[in-house]
Amino acid sequence: MKSDRVKKGVETTPQRSLFKAMGYIDEELEQPLVGVVNSFNEIIPGHIHLNTITKAAKEGIRMAGGTPIEFPAIGVCDGIAMGHVGMKYSLASRELIADSIEIMATAHSLDALVLIPNCDKIVPGMLMAAARLNIPAVVVSGGPMLTGKAVGQKETDLNTAFEAVGAFNAGKIDEIELKSFEDSVCPGCGSCSGMFTANSMNCLTEVLGMGLPGNGTIPAVFAERIRLAKKAGIQVMEMWKRDIKPRDIMTEENFKNALACDMALGCSTNSILHLPAIANEAGVIIDLDEVNEISAKTPHLCKLAPAGHHHLEDLYYAGGIQALMKTLADAKLIDTSLMTVTGKTIAENLTCVVNKNPEVIRPLDNPYSKTGGLAVLFGNLAPDGGVVKQGAVAPEMLKHEGPARVFNSEEDATAAIKAGKIVAGDVVVIRYEGPKGGPGMREMLFPTSAIAGMGLDKDVALITDGRFSGATRGACIGHISPEAAAGGTIGLIEEGDIIAIDIPNRSLQVNVDEAILAKRKAAWVPIEPKIKTGYLSRYAKLVTSASTGAVFEK
C-alpha cells in the first residue's frame, strides 16, 4: 500500500500518533486509505447536496474494507460568476482543483480516490488529477437538476432565465413574467438541467469509463444517486484490489469514444477545452482535426436544451448514456472492448441496455443530422481553430456573411446589444477574452442570451476568443485561436470588415486582403492586461491556447 509509508513500521510512529489524534484506530490504519474529495459548498446548487453523496461513498468504502478520508475541493458556480470579473476565475479554477488534489493525495500517501464533483470546471479538474496521480479512482457526480416549470407550464432551465432578461429588455415580457422565471426555472439541487457544460462533462465521464453507469443522468434528488455513490465506494476498493488505474481506462481509444458520444449528444463547446486537457494528463494528444473527423462520421442523435426541448431527466428515462452508447456500439462507432471502473468492458456493461425512448435518443436511421453536434472551423480568422455547437445553430445561420461589430470586452458588447445597436446581419466580435487576454477565457452567456432573448439568434452571429456557456445557442463561435492577446487575426479585425462563416465546410474567414492584414499586424499593439496581480496574473503567464485545452505550459 502507498499509505504504508505513513503508517507502517517503527519510523512512522509520529505519523500514526497524528492519525490517533483524529480518532483513527489500528484496524482502520491496517486498511487502504481512500481519499474522498468532496466539492460541497453553499454557493453552487449542483454542490449543495454533495455531503449526502459523500456520506454514501464513504459507507461504500467501509463496506468494502477501506478507510475513507474526506478532504475538500473548491468550486465556482458559473451561473453566479457570469457577466462580471468572477467569470475570469472559472476556467482558471480547473488547474487549482487538479493541483490541490495532487498535493493532498501525494502528501498523505493515499491509496485510492473517490472524486465527487458536479459542475463545470470541477469535473474536468478532478479527472485531470486522477490521470496525473494514476492511483485507483472512481468519479461519482452529484447528478442533474430536475427541469423547472414557469409561465404556461413551459419546461425551463437556467438558460431560460438568462434569455428572459433579453426578452424583458426588448419589451417582450413584463416584470411579473420575469419574476416567475426567476422563482421557478431552477427547482432544486443539481447541475443545471440542460446539456450544458456540467452535464456534458458528467456524461462524458461515464463514457470515458471513469464513472459508473448512470453517473451522467440519474437526477440529483433521486435515491438512486445515493445508491450509485455507495457502489462507487465499493468499486474503488475493487479497483485497488485489481490494480486498475485511471490510465488503464483513459486511453486514446476511450477519448475517441468520448468524442463520438460528444458529437451524438451535442455537448457543450467547453468539452473541446476539457477533453484535451484531461487527455494531456493521461499522455494522450487530441488534435482538433480529429474532432472534425469523428464528427463527420457520427450522427447527432440526442438534442437536449439549449439545442432542443428535452432535458437530462428525459435522457435518464430513455436509458441514459448507456443507451446512447449502445446505439453507437451497434453501428461500430465506438470501441466496446475497453475497460471501465466497473471492472468490466463497455460491451459487458451494455449487455442488457435498451433505448426506451427513440424520441429522446433517435435511432441511427433518423438522426437530427448525419454529422455531430460540434464542429471546429478553420481559416485566416482561426488558423488554429474555433469551436461551434452546430447542433444549436438555426439552419439559416449555418452559412453567413456580415459586417464585423468589434468589441474589446464582453461588457462593451453586451451594452451595445442591450442598447439596440446590433442589427440583423451583424457579426459581433468579442476579443481579448481568451485564456491569456481575459485572462481566464470567460463564458459569454450574457451577450448570447441577450441576442437570443431579443429574437436575433437567427440573424446575428458572434465570434470570440473567449468561450460560451453550454447553455448558449445560435451561430456562436468561440475558442478562436490564436487569441487576440497572442497576436491572432481576431485582434486585427476592424469595424465593418466582412466575416464569412461556413459551418458545413468548417470555414471561418475575414474577407480582408492578406497584405492589408500583414500591414495591420505590423502596427498591432496589444492592449494592457486587464488584471496584473494575484492568481490570474500568474495564470496568464502559464496558460496555453484554447486549441490545446488551455492547459499550463510544461
Residues belonging to the binding site are 78, 120-121, 443
By 3-state DSSP, what share of the chain in percent is helix, strand and coil, each rounded to 5?
Answer: 45, 15, 40
For the annotated binding site for Mg(2+), the residues are: 78, 120-121, 443
Respond yes or no on whether the N-terminal peptide bond of residue 187 is cis (omega within 30° of 0): no
Distance from C-alpha of 525 to C-alpha of 380, rounded to nearest angstrom: 19
Question: Cα separations (Å) of 224 from 142, 231, 394?
Answer: 11, 10, 37
First and final C-alpha spacing in the chain: 30
DSSP string, 99-161: HHHHHHHHHTT-SEEEEE--STTHHHHHHHHHHHH-S-EEE----BPPPEE-GGG-EE-HHHH
Residue 445 carries which side chain, given as an amino acid letter?
L
Spatial strand order in the sheet of 67-72: 67-72, 33-38, 112-116, 137-139
Q: Which of 200, 295, 469, 481 is catalytic?
A: 469
Q: Is 545 a catalytic residue?
A: no
Distance from C-alpha of 58 to C-alpha of 375, rounded to nearest angstrom: 41
Q: Which class for 332: exposed (0-12), middle (13-18), buried (19 or more C-beta within 10 A)?
A: exposed
Q: Is the Cβ–Cβ distance between 272 and 479 less than 8 Å? A: yes
- The cell for 549 is 485545452
Helix (H) or strand (E) holding 453: helix 445-453
Q: Is the Cβ–Cβ distance between 382 and 547 less than 8 Å? A: no
- Catalytically active residues are 469
